[in-house]
Amino acid sequence: TYVIAQPCVDVMDRSCIEECPVDCIYEGGRMLYIQPDECVDCGACEPVCPVEAIYYEDDLPQQWSDYTRVNAEFFTGLGSPGGAAKTGPLAVDHPVVAALPPQPA
């Protein structure tokens, strides 16, 4: 799966949403999250992010290695909604993200 990492926090450019063929990029309160079971690894989102927040999971920089778990755990309880258009913005965040000071730090 692809993963959105910390550079998205408080930036939320949203260019990535337009590129995703399966609409698996969901909006939280302070960042967006990729649903790992819905992502088909097409990679279209990665180059359009202006702050380089998106990585293939194996290529995540070490300092953001937590974000594979952060993206996955965001969907605990939500499961696999089958498209972000169905849920709309969710206005909540993973606890790791909620605890961050205002970004960019």
Nearest to 12 by CA among 57, 41, 46, 50: 50
Determine what percent of the chain falls in helix, strand and coil, rounding each to the nearest 5: 30, 10, 55
The whole-angstrom separation of Cα 20 and Cα 96 is 25
Instruction: Give how many residues touch ligand F3S by CB under 6 A.
Output: 27
Residue 5 Ramachandran class (φ > 0 left, ψ -120 to 50 alpha, else beta): beta
**Integer Cα distance of 61 and 14 in angstroms:** 21
Nearest Cα residue to 36 out of 81, 88, 6: 81
Smaller CB separation from ligand F3S, 41 or 95: 41
Cβ 43 to ligand F3S shortest distance, Å: 5
Nearer to ligand F3S, 43 or 95 (CB): 43
Q: Which is nearer to ligand F3S, 47 or 95 (CB)?
A: 47
Applying the rule CB under 6 A, the residues between 15 and 74 that interact with ligand F3S are 15-16, 19-20, 22, 24-25, 32, 34, 39-45, 49, 51, 53-54
Q: Does 14 bind ligand F3S (CB under 6 A)?
A: yes
List residues binding ligand F3S (CB under 6 A).
2, 4, 8, 11-16, 19-20, 22, 24-25, 32, 34, 39-45, 49, 51, 53-54
